[in-house]
Amino acid sequence: MEPRAPQLLERSEPQTSPAPRQSPKTTLKPRRRVAWLLLFAVAAAAYAGFRYYRTAEEKKQAAAAALAARAAARAVPVAAVPARAGDMPVYLRGLGNVTAFNSVTVRTRVDGQLMSVDFQEGQHVNQGDLLAEIDPRPFQVQLEQAEGQLARDQAQLHDAQVNLARYQTLWQEGVIPKQQLDTQAATVGQFEGAIKADQGAVDSAKLNLTYAKITAPISGRIGLRLVDAGNVVHTTDQNGLAIIDQMQPISVIFTIPADSLPPVLSKLRAGQHPRVDAYDREDRVKIASGSLLTVDNQIDPTTGTSRLKAIFDNADGALFPNQFVNCRLLIDVKHGAVIVPAAAIQHGPQGAYVYVIKPDRTADLRPVTVGLTEGAETSIEKGVRAGELVVTDGQDKLQAGARVEIRTAADSDAEAGRASP
């Protein structure tokens, strides 16, 4: 028998029954639970962030409020002066040039050699003072010649007059004809005319001799000499010997707009001569005060201005010819105006305003209506009363309602001294 092949026993595995299928409702429940948990977590994080932001903002606001409170409690140092009631002058302003009231170029009236110069450059000379001398000898010779001619003609006249007396007697006796008497009378007349001419020559020579001494025609300040001694000078010289300017009084020529001329003319017609103040080039320092003398007779069509002339005593010599000055013509005065320093006026979007210090030492912002400004002062037409304190320095740190500390000039000087090394 053939051996049988071993049979492989098939191992039967136990059959399991299939798991029951879940319904869709049962599958969605865990997913919804997870979504709600995520949503809750996001909401909780958002709320926590919002609370943190609110807390930070509240802290910032509290810090800002505390800072503002401390700033409000801290007094701001300012400078202040009281507004005053006073007279506000109304000026017409113009650019002016100082001119000598009289200016003379000293010239020689005879030709000759300049022997001496008898003045110091820049000195004050009086009318009639000797300034220079020209060689007088040629004029002395001319005088002697003229006097000699006069003496000769006088002797001939005397002889002719004696002969005329004789001829009159002889004519009356019928010894000589009438023609001879008339001829002698004509000869006497000729000599009389010659004597007058001789007398004129003598006077002319004396005048030339006087002109040899050059004297000051006016009183004033003499300038630099233009000719030195030893030169020959002529009456036709263009430059002359020197220039004399009358400086006491002295005049100023200045211009104003033609539209401003009517009130000036009305005052001059009324016999008034308004005051004119002359200021330096920067229009800050007053040099002298004078009065309006006259107005030019025409208006400059190119500039639309009129020229005015003012006179100044100039006793101290502060004004000098050709000096540039700023002129202020006093045309009116407003009485009882409220006046504050110009530094107190501030300008904003709503117009001009000032800070007024109230009795409780707090700042009050006041809109104002500004009137006239003259120099460092301004008149206020509306907004401030006389006696109220207005802030003139430190406005950049002020706010309405802020507490202030008024500092005096002595305090400012002391602080500046401490700050300086």
Interval 110-130 mean pLDDT? 93
CB 297 within 8 A of CB 331: no
Q: What angle do the packed helices 137-173 and 178-211 form, to 10 degrees? A: 160
Give the start-end residues of each E strand in 145-241. Answer: 213-215, 220-222, 232-233
Quote the pLDDT of residue 3. 45
Task: Encode pLDDT of 174-203 as tens digits.
Answer: 888 889 888 989 998 999 999 999 999 999
- Residue written as token pair 């010779």: 141
Q: How far is CA 212 from the centre of its chain?
A: 46
Pairing of strands 220-222, 130-134: unpaired
Q: Which domains does the chain have, with CATH numbers?
A: 76-88+336-411 (2.40.420.20), 91-99+246-333 (2.40.30.170), 109-131+215-240 (no CATH), 136-211 (1.10.287.470)
Helix (H, G, I), strand (E, B) or coil at 224: coil
Phi, psi of 377 (to 5 degrees): -125, 150
CB 105 within 8 A of CB 227: no
State the Cα–Cα distance between residues 373 and 379, nearest whole angstrom. Answer: 6
Banded model confidence at residue 9, pLDDT cuts 50, 70, 90: very low
Q: What's the sign of the alpha-carbon dihedral 390, 394, 395, 401?
A: negative
Task: Encode pLDDT of 249-290 as tens digits.
Answer: 999 999 999 999 999 999 999 999 999 999 999 888 999 999
Indicate the residue type of 248: Q
